[in-house]
Structure 1
Amino acid sequence: MVEADIIPSARHALITGAGSGIGAAIAQTLAQNGCRLTLCGRSQERLDKQAQLLRALVPDAAIHTVAVDVGDEGSVAGAIEQAHQQFGSVNILVNNAGQAQSQSFLRTDAALWQQMLQVNLTGTYHMMHAVLPQMLAAATSGTPGRIINIASTAGLMGYAYVSAYVAAKHGVVGLTKALAIELANKNITVNALCPGYTETDIVQEAVRNIVTKTAQTEAQARTVLTARNPQQRFVQPDEVAQSVWWLCAPGSGAINGQAIAIDGGEQAG
C-alpha cells in the first residue's frame, strides 16, 4: 500500500498563531487541500474573523477556533481537548505561534529572556507534548502524523539585538531534530521551516523600531531588513504555507528531522 492510499482527504490540522500572517496563510492552504482545521491563537475575535474569511474562500471548509496561550500548559491542554472533541485526533500540528522583541543583550533582562523562551520554545514543547498521544494512536492505525515547527533563520544563525529570540529558535530546531529521531519509526515526521524576514506583523514592528531608533525612512528600514536576502525581498507568507503543505502531502514521509530555510538563498552565502 502506497502512502497516497492511506492518507485520508480530510486530516485534522491544528495551527497555532493562526489569526494572521504565516498562520493564516497556512490555514488557507491546508483548507484548500481538504484538511479539517483547528485554528489557535491568543485572540478569539481574530480567530473567528479568520475563520469567516476562510469559509468565504473555501465554502465547504470544516473549521474550529479556540483561543489558547501556548506558554500555559493548562490552556494548551484545554484547547487540545476541545480540538479532539470537534474533529478527532490531530494528524497535522503546525507550531507557528511566536514573538520577537529586539533589545541589546545587556538590556535583555530575565523577564524578556523568559518571555521569548516561553512563547517560542516552551510553547512548541507544550503543543507537541499535548498532541502527541492522539497523533501516535492515529499513526498506529494508519494515518501519518506531521509535526511542522515554524522556526526562523534565527534558528540557524545569529542576529544582533535579538539574542533571546535566537536562543529560543535554536532550541526549536534542536527539539525538532531530537523528536524526529525519537519518532522515526512511528509513522510521524517532525520538521522545522526556517523563514527569513517575512511580510508579517512581526516584520512591520521591526520596521517601526528601526524608523524610531535610527530616523531612517520606512523604505530605508525595509532595505536594511532585506539586505541579507540575495533576492532582496521579504519572504511571503504563502511561500511558507506551500512548504508546509509539501511536508504534509503524499510522498513526504522520508523528509524528517530537517530545518529547511526559506530565505531566498541567505543561508547559501
Structure 2
Amino acid sequence: MQDRHALVTGAGSGIGAAVALALAQQGCRLTLAGRSHGKLQQQAEALRTQVPDLAVVLAPMDITDPLAVQGAVQLAQSQLGPVNILVNNAGQARSQPFVRTDAALWQQMLDVNLSGTFHVTQAVLPGMQDAAASGTPGRIVNIASTAGLMGYAYVSAYVAAKHGVVGLTRALALEMARKNITVNALCPGYTDTEIVQDAVRNIVAKTGQTEAQARQSLAARNPQQRLVQPLEVAHSVVWLCAPGSEAINGQAIAIDGGEQAG
C-alpha cells in the first residue's frame, strides 16, 4: 500500500481518525476530509508525530454539497494524484420516534449518511478508474453501521440511510468488479465515538440514568458486553485495502462482537 493516495471523510475524530492513522502507518499518502479545518489540522499534526514523512492534504468539505466535494477532491488530486483508496466514514445520527421525525430530520440523515457517500464517490471514481486501469487497484470502503443490516427503534431515518449505503455498496461493487476496484461496507455496532457519546447524553437526559449506566445499556447489545473500538474498525479497513483482499467485493461486514449472529 506504499504511496497509494487514501482519502478519508470524517477524518477529524473517532473512526475516521483511527483509519487515517492506520493507513498512514501502511505508507499511504493521505487526504483528510471533514467539516472542521481546525480538527483536520490537529489530526494532521498528530499523524506527523507518528509518521514523520507523511504526505498529507487537508480537504475541508461539506459532503452534502456536491460542488464543495468536487472542489476539495480536485485540490487533493492536484497535490497527491488520483485517489486509490476512499473511506466514506463521515456520518451523523439523530434519535427521534418515527411519529416525531419531521421531513427536515429525515432529509438531513439521508443527505449526510447516504447522499454524502454518493457525492464523494462520484468525485473520486473517475481518477480511481484511470489508475486502476493502469495497474493500481482501487478500494472503496463505506463505513455503514449495524443499522444498515437491521432495524433500531427511534432512529428510523438513520437506519434507512445506512441501509441505503449498504445497497449502494452492493450495486457499485457489481459495476466495478471487472475494473480492478472493490467496494465494501463495514458495519460497526455501537462504537466508542462522538456519536455514541451523543447517544449517552440523550439517554441520560431522557431516562435519568447515570452516564455509566447509559454506556452499559448500549454496550449490552454487543454479546461481548463492550463498545467496539475505533481501531478495530480501522484494522478492518486496512485488511480490505491490502493485497490479498481482491476477491472480497460487495460485502457488508459486521463488526459487532456477534450481535448479528443472534
Q: Shorter-chain TM-score: which interval? A: over 0.9
> Tell me, what secondary structure is at the counterpart of 1:40?
strand
The one-letter amino acid paired with 1:173 is V
The structural deviation recorded for 1:60 is 1.1
1:56 counterpart residue number = 49
Residue 75 in structure 1 maps to residue 68 in structure 2 = yes
Specify which of 91, 94, 100 is matched with residue 98 of structure 1: 91
Specify which of 127, 137, 140 is matched with residue 130 of structure 2: 137
Q: Distance in 2 between matches of 1:246 and 1:234?
A: 21
> Tell me, what secondary structure is at the counterpart of 1:39?
strand
Which string of whole-angstrom CA distances, capped at 9 and with x for unpartnered residues, describes residues 31-73 of structure 1? 0000000000000011001000000111111111110000100
Structure 2 regions of 5+ residues with no counterpart? none
The one-letter amino acid paired with 1:239 is E
**Alignment TM-score, normalising by the size of structure 1:** 0.97
2:24 counterpart residue number = 31
Residue 183 in structure 1 maps to residue 176 in structure 2 = yes
Residue 243 in structure 1 maps to residue 236 in structure 2 = yes
Q: Distance in 1 between matches of 2:98 and 2:91?
A: 20
1:4 counterpart residue number = none
Identity of aligned pairs, percent?
A: 74
Residue 227 in structure 1 maps to residue 220 in structure 2 = yes
Residue 87 in structure 1 maps to residue 80 in structure 2 = yes
The structural deviation recorded for 1:219 is 1.1
**Alignment TM-score, normalising by the size of structure 2:** 0.99
Specify which of 11, 23, 28 is matched with residue 4 of structure 2: 11
1:3 counterpart residue number = none
Structure 1 residues 91-130: aligned runs within 5 Å: 91-130=84-123
Structure 1 residues 136-155: aligned runs within 5 Å: 136-155=129-148
> Tell me, what secondary structure is at the counterpart of 1:69?
coil
Which string of whole-angstrom CA distances, capped at 9 and with x for unpartnered residues, describes residues 191-239 of structure 1? 0000000000000000000000000111110111011100000000000
Q: Distance in 2 between matches of 1:218 and 1:119?
A: 27
Q: Distance in 2 between matches of 1:42 and 1:201?
A: 15
Which string of whole-angstrom CA distances, capped at 9 and with x for unpartnered residues, describes residues 53-109 of structure 1? 000111111111110000100010001100110100000000000000000001100
RMSD, aligned α-carbons: 0.5
Q: Distance in 2 between matches of 1:19 and 1:223?
A: 26
Structure 1 stretches of 4+ moved >4 Å: none
1:5 counterpart residue number = none
The one-letter amino acid paired with 2:153 is A
Q: Distance in 2 between matches of 1:165 and 1:45?
A: 27
The structural deviation recorded for 1:139 is 0.2
Structure 1 regions of 5+ residues with no counterpart? 1-7
2:150 counterpart residue number = 157
The one-letter amino acid paired with 2:43 is Q
> Tell me, what secondary structure is at the counterpart of 1:64?
strand
Q: Distance in 2 between matches of 1:258 and 1:252?
A: 12
Q: Distance in 2 between matches of 1:189 and 1:69?
A: 25
The one-letter amino acid paired with 2:162 is K
Residue 22 in structure 1 maps to residue 15 in structure 2 = yes
